[in-house]
Structures are given as C-alpha cells and as structure tokens.
Amino acid sequence: MEVIFMLKSGDKAIDFELVNTELKRVKLSDYSGKNVVLVFYPGAFTSVCEKELCTFRDSLSKFNRFNAVVLGISVDSPFANKAFAEKNHITFDLLSDFAGKVASQYGGVHENFLGIPGYTVAKRAVFIVDSSGTIVYSWVSDDPGKEPVYEEIEMELERLSG
C-alpha cells in the first residue's frame, strides 16, 4: 500500500466517510464544531487494543466536558467491530477502514503484519482534530504494543476547552 502522505499537528484534517458497527456512514465532517479524538488501532480482540479502547471508554465523561467525541478506526469489518464493542461495552463509534486508506493518510499502516503476507493493519495512532478541523495533537507508534500517553490527550482536550 502506497502512503500518499501522513498528517501531523497543524495540518487540516482530511474528511473521510467510513461505516460504523450499524453499517451507517459516518463522516469526520459530521462532527464539525466539536473536538474529535481519532483513535486508530490495529485490531479488535487483541489485548493492547482492548486495553486502549476501554481506557478511552472510561474517559468519555471527561471528554464530554471538553466538547469532544471519540471515533475508533481499524481495518476490521463492521461485524468484528460490533462484537468487539458489545463485549467491551464501547459506546463510541468504531469505524471500518477496510482498505486502510484513512489510516494511511493519517498515521500509516503496518503491511504484512505479524509476517502474514497481505495482512495490513492501522498503526496505533491518536489524533485530536479541533472544532475548526485542524489537527492539534498527533501521536503515532511503530510499535503496536505501545499505548498512547492518555494524560497528554486529556491535557490537550482541556486546553482546547479552556
């Protein structure tokens, strides 16, 4: 998969349209006027992804105070994402980026993940898009076992709401 470019802090966020667990189309621009936390994760039902998304789930009440929503994005099918959300009581949208196009534009992908030819997953990454559509925070890890620094994300959201 060819990476066209990757976004970073200060860049204008690229709008996208992906399907959620209910097969409803969701666009980033649907959240214009809100702060959006984009959470790219390699795969549902993996231990690190489960811990990460449950941490975001547990932070939602704080994020609501900061006029922020969370969108989880992976290459998983909407059906796998739905089962994952139900198992872990995740109430924010999990979006399916089947071809990895959005992940490639934002934080990048791991090709031939775990040595499996043709298996491409999103790199673990977090972006905060402010209410005007500008990326104000970006974190991307080449190590799929590494979690983001949750305190940094919360501090940035608090700064935006102040």
- C-alpha–C-alpha distance, residues 137 and 146, integer Å: 17
Please name the amino acid found at residue 34. K
Active site residue 49: yes
Please name the amino acid found at residue 45. F
Burial of residue 67 (CB within 10 Å: 0-12, 13-18, 19+) is middle
Provide the token pair at 78. 């909407």
Contacts of 110 (CB under 8 A, 6+ apart): 42, 120, 121, 122, 123, 144
CA dihedral over 129, 139, 16, 13, signed as positive or negative: positive
Q: Which of 28, 37, 39, 49 is catalytic?
A: 49
- C-alpha–C-alpha distance, residues 80 and 83, integer Å: 5
Residue 134: DSSP 8-state:
B
The residues annotated with a catalytic role in the active site are 49
